[in-house]
Structure 1
C-alpha cells in the first residue's frame, strides 16, 4: 500500500506517519510506503501510476489556501481513478462542499477530535479487504487515452503490436482489440497471474480449456483458434494449469 500525505504542518505529518505505522502492525499490512508533502505542486509532480494500492491523505487547507486540498483531489482523481482519497482537516464546514469536487473521497476525518487513529484504522482495513478481494481479478493497463481497468475474466491474451515494439495488443472475450502501452515482458512482470506460453503470446491461463501436447497448441474457452506454445514451456504450462485446479482436456 502506498500512502501519500499532504499536510503543511510537520508535527501533523509526524503524527500521521506514526499512526499509520501503528495501524500497519495492528492490521498486518505487509508493505506500507509513506510519502509526505507540504506543497500541492510537489505532491502532484510525484503522482505514481494509477493503482488501487494508492491512498491519499489530504488536508484541505494548505499554506493558507482553504481550497488547496480539494483542488488537489480533483487532479489526483483525474490521474488515478482507482486510488483512495481521505480528507483530514479541522475544517468541518467544508464537508458539504468536499464531494462537489468529484474527488469520490472515502472518508472525511476531523483533526480536532480524538478519532483519527480509529477512523484511519477502519479505512485502511476496508481498503485492504477490498484490494484483497480483487487481487488478480482486475488489471490496470496503460493505453494512449489514459488507464484502463480490465477484469481478468474478460481477458484472453496479449500479443506484440506489429506496428510498435513498445506496445501490445489485448484481446478480450467480448471481441475487443485494445492497444496497450507496455511490452509482453513488462506485462508478464507486472501481472504474474498471466502466463507466457510463447514469445508472441501472453495468455490468461484461466481461459485454457484444452491442450494438445503433440502439436504444441492450446485452446481457450469459447474460442476456436489454436494458440502455439513453446515446447520448452510444456512442463511449466501443465504445472500452472494444475495449480489453477481447472477443468482441462489434454490431448
Structure 2
C-alpha cells in the first residue's frame, strides 16, 4: 500500500525513499488533496507540519483530509514539539506525532512502526466492514455480505447454487459462470466450486485441493488450476507441484 507524503524538503524525500516501501511525494497540500480525491478512502498519509514556510500547513491539510475520510491514517512529523499540542486540540485523529530529530535512527524506527500500525489498522477496518454484493437468484436478485461468504458449490449441471457463509448456508438459482464474474475475489476452482479467495488458507497442488480458513476442503480441477496459480502470484513458477502453498 502506498504512503502519501506531504513535504517540500528535498532532504526529507531522499531519506524517506530509503525507509518507506512505496512513498508518493507531494510538495503542496493542494496536490496531495487532489491525489487523495482520486483514490479510495483509507490511505496512509505522512504530513510534514511546515510546508513552504507555513507552520500549520500540515495541520490544516490533516483537518481537510479528516473531513472527507474518517479511515485515513494520519502521521505528522515536525521539528516543533509544541505542534503536538495544537494537533491534539484540533482533534484530527493523528495516529502518531513524530519529532524529526534530524532524521535520527529513532525517528525512522518510530516512523516505520507507525506506518506498519497504520496498515494494520486499515486491514482491520476492511475486514470488519460489510461489503454488500447482489447475487442473481432466478428472475430477481438477493443481497449478501461478501465478507461472510466462504465459497459456493453446486451439483453438476444444476443451476441451484449453495452459498456457504460463515454461519449458515443459503441457496440461489443462477450459473457458476455468472457468479464468478460478480467480484474479483470470487475464483472458480472447479466446475462445481467457486471460492472467496479472501478465505483461502492453503493450496496443495499435489492433492488438487485447497483448505479455507474455516477448515472446509474444496477440490481444484486441472482446468482451473492455472488461473488459481496466477491469482496467488506464486513467487517461484518452478516450485514443485507437490509442495503446499500456505497463505497464513
Match among 110, 115, 124 for residue 124 of structure 1:
115
What is the CA-CA distance between 1:136 and the residue it aligns to?
Answer: 7.2
Moved beyond 4 Å, runs of 4+: 128-132, 221-225, 231-234
Residues 1:234 and 1:91: Cα distance change in structure 2 (over 3 Å)? closer
Which has the larger displacement, 60-69 or 223-232?
Answer: 223-232
CA contact (8 A) 1:49 1:80 kept: no
Larger-gyration structure (1/2) = 2
Residues 1:229 and 1:64: Cα distance change in structure 2 (over 3 Å)? same
Residues 1:230 and 1:129: Cα distance change in structure 2 (over 3 Å)? closer
Residues 1:212 and 1:101: Cα distance change in structure 2 (over 3 Å)? farther
For 2:16 and 2:2, the matched residues in 1 are separated by: 14
CA contact (8 A) 1:62 1:69 kept: yes
Aligned to 2:90: 101
Aligned to 2:8: 8
| TM score, norm. by length of structure 1 | 0.59
Residues 1:46 and 1:151: Cα distance change in structure 2 (over 3 Å)? same
What is the CA-CA distance between 1:57 and the residue it aligns to?
Answer: 1.0
Aligned to 1:49: 39
Kindly report the root-mean-square deviation, in angstroms, between the aligned alpha carbons of the 2 structures.
3.5
Residues 1:170 and 1:205: Cα distance change in structure 2 (over 3 Å)? same
For 2:135 and 2:177, the matched residues in 1 are separated by: 18
Residues 1:88 and 1:151: Cα distance change in structure 2 (over 3 Å)? same
- 1:235 and 2:211 are equivalent in the alignment: no
- 1:151 and 2:130 are equivalent in the alignment: yes
What is the CA-CA distance between 1:100 and the residue it aligns to?
Answer: 3.1
What is the CA-CA distance between 1:229 and the residue it aligns to?
Answer: 1.9
Is there any run of 5+ residues in structure 1 with no aligned partner, and where? 21-31, 139-149, 161-168, 174-193, 195-202
